[in-house]
Amino acid sequence: MKKLKVVNDTSQETISRGESKRLFRLWRSYDLASAVLIMTGLALSTLDYEINYSPTRSYRNCHINTMTTQVFRYLSSICSLVAIICILLRYFEKLRWKHRVSYFNKKSDSIAGVRKSVVFMCIEIIVVSILPYPHVDGNVYVPLRFNHDTITICYKLSEILYCLMFLRFFIMVRALINFSSFQNDEGRECCKDFRVKPNMRYLAKCLWTRYPVYFLTGIAVLSLFIFALTLRVFERVTDDLSHMYYSNPMNALWFMVENMTTLGYGEFYPYTYPARIVCVLSYFAGSIIFALFVSAMQQHVDLDIHQRRVYKHVMKIPLAATMIKNCLRYYLWKKRLGTENDICKLHFKALEKSIDDMKSVKSTFHTKQNKRIHDLRKNVKLLNCQVSAIDRLVTSTLDTLVSKNKNVLKMTF
């Protein structure tokens, strides 16, 4: 009977582990489904905006196309509604998975985790709920100071809601990052063992460390298109006023490239106040991305240990040959004419110069080598601390297993 009890406990543990993996795949599948649906809704809203925009539109009127249709708005609303249902199921299944794997150590942690999940769920639902609804087309007037006079720019309410829909890209990025190797079942178990929160900041750091260039390129391209499309919506209505023709998407894209890279040639600039706010945000985003690009490229430009060794020898070879040549010339001229001769003094100065060059190169390499040795010793100390912590953890685990096996043997006999 005792042996049967041990076997039953093992089988129940296996079943529980399989159930946790099933719940983990389930909530991630809901996450992916919600991301696909919200991006489908954004694409449908984009089609609705382009189709309903009237060629006679100006900053004074809010005319819409005579062939207007509400089909794309209905489809976008349906996709958003299904996405909200998937978000609710996602958070519900995720909480079930966390309780299944004993993710929360205390009851207070469980309550705090549930509250945090509810807050993030409400934020995502609010973001997904922002869209151009069918038959909701009010006018929004924004003042603008132009040529010592105040005019009003007319926007449709659906256009402003369409711009706010670009916040959905954050949900899409979060869903895609959740499918990285740092967010699978094993990765989350490691985070739990080392008491690391597997949040978005942790994932961004991991992806930045593993794929710095690809990660930054994706963020830069995504930010560029979001800011360019938003700027085009706000500036397109002023084509008759500014004559910059932002109706052409390439003009908006080129201006945003200039703004994010801080070039600013001056042939394009924003007129309306909402577009200026977009430009300021894109400027800050571009500055951060550019600084991170420099840091990422520096990692690829720096020489590794073997390349530095070859570089050091290649730099020393011509200097050593020059020093030996000057030394021989000085010796021969000294033997022939003596040390007081002018030619001998010139060769002595050349010898001193070659020796100083060799010393400067050696000191440069020794300084860099000493810095690398200091960093290496620091990393070795940190590694020793981690190894000792792992050793203590393994020892305690083995002691626990040995004591359990002794208890099982005692119960068996």
Looking at the chain, the whole-number percentage of residues with pLDDT higher than 70 is: 85
Distance in angstroms (rounded) separating the CA atoms of residues 413 and 404: 14
345 lies in which domain range?
A: 305-412
**202-229 pLDDT per residue, tens:** 888 888 888 888 888 999 999 999 999 9
CB 111, CB 168: distance < 8 Å: no
The last residue of a domain, from among 273, 298, 323 = 298
Give the pLDDT confidence of 328-339 residue by residue, as tens digits. Answer: 888 888 777 777
Least confident of 68-77, 123-132, 210-219, 343-352: 343-352
16 and 143 in a single domain? The answer is yes
Q: DSSP label at 53? A: B
Last residue of a domain, one of 298, 332, 365: 298
For residues 358-382, b (16+ Cβ closer than 10 Å) or e, as one string? beeeeeebeeeeeeeeeeeeeeeee
Residue pair 270/231 in contact (Cβ under 8 Å)? The answer is yes
Rounded CA separation 266/257 (Å): 12
Check residue 8 and give its pLDDT. Answer: 47
Q: What end-to-end distance do the CA atoms of the chain give, in Å? A: 11
Are 66 and 56 within 8 A, CB to CB? no
> Is 141 among the domain residues?
yes
Tokens (6 digits) for 406: 């002794």
What's the CA gap between 404 and 318, in Å, rounded? 70
Burial of 350 (0-12, 13-18, 19+ CB in 10 A): middle
Q: Is the pLDDT of residue 133 over 90?
A: yes
Residue 371: is its pLDDT beyond 80? no
- CA 162 centroid distance within chain: 25
**Residues 6 or more apart whose Cβ sits within 8 Å of residue 257:** 224, 263
- Whether 278 maps to a domain, the answer reads yes
State how many domains the chain has.
3
Whether 29 is in a domain gets the answer yes
Last residue of a domain, one of 272, 298, 324: 298
Q: What CATH number corresponds to the domain at position 245?
A: 1.10.287.70
| Beta carbons of 100 and 19 less than 8 angstroms apart | yes
Q: Read off the pLDDT of residues 282-321 as tens digits, 9 standing for 90 and up.
A: 999 999 998 888 888 777 777 767 777 777 777 777 878 8
Between residues 260 and 366, the one the model is more confident about: 260
- Please indicate, yes or no, if residue 197 is contained in any of the structural domains: no
Q: What is the mean pLDDT of residues 382-387?
A: 72
Confirm whether 206 is domain-assigned.
no
Spatial separation of the C-alpha atoms in residues 285 and 224, rounded to whole Å = 9
Does the pLDDT value for residue 280 go beyond 90? Answer: yes
Percentage of residues in the chain with pLDDT exceeding 90?
31
- Can you give the pLDDT at residue 281? 94
Give 261: exposed, middle or buried? Use CB within 10 Å, 0-12, 13-18, 19+: middle
Q: At residue 13, does pLDDT exceed 70? A: no
Residues 221 and 159 grouped into a single domain = no
Q: Could you give the dihedral angle defined by the CA atoms of residues 293, 296, 297 and 298, in that order, rounded to the nearest 10 degrees? A: 120
The DSSP line for 317-350 is HHHHHHHHHHHHHHHHHHHHH-TTSHHHHHHHHH
Residue 87: CB atoms within 10 A of its CB come to 25
The verdict on 52 and 25 lying in the same domain is: yes
Does the structure show a pLDDT above 50 at 2? no
Residues 230 and 131 in one domain: no
Same domain, 164 and 224: no
> Does one domain contain both 238 and 342?
no
Rounded mean pLDDT, 16-40: 87
- Residue 12 counted as domain residue: yes
Q: Are residues 279 and 368 in the same domain?
A: no
Is residue 22 located within the same domain as residue 155?
yes
Does residue 276 fall inside a structural domain? yes
* 218 and 80 part of one domain: no
CA distance 38 to 17: 32
Asked whether 350 and 326 are in contact (CB, 8 A), the reply is yes
Domain identity same for 292 and 310 = no
d(CA 243, CA 342): 77
Q: DSSP 3-state assignment of 252?
A: helix
Kindly state whether residues 123 and 25 are assigned to the same domain.
yes
Beta bridge partners of 146: 149
Kind plus residue range of the DSSP H or E element containing 151? strand 149-156
Q: Please check whether residue 193 lies inside any domain of the structure.
A: no
> Is the same domain home to 46 and 129?
yes
C-alpha 339/C-alpha 168 separation (Å) is 83
pLDDT for position 12 = 54
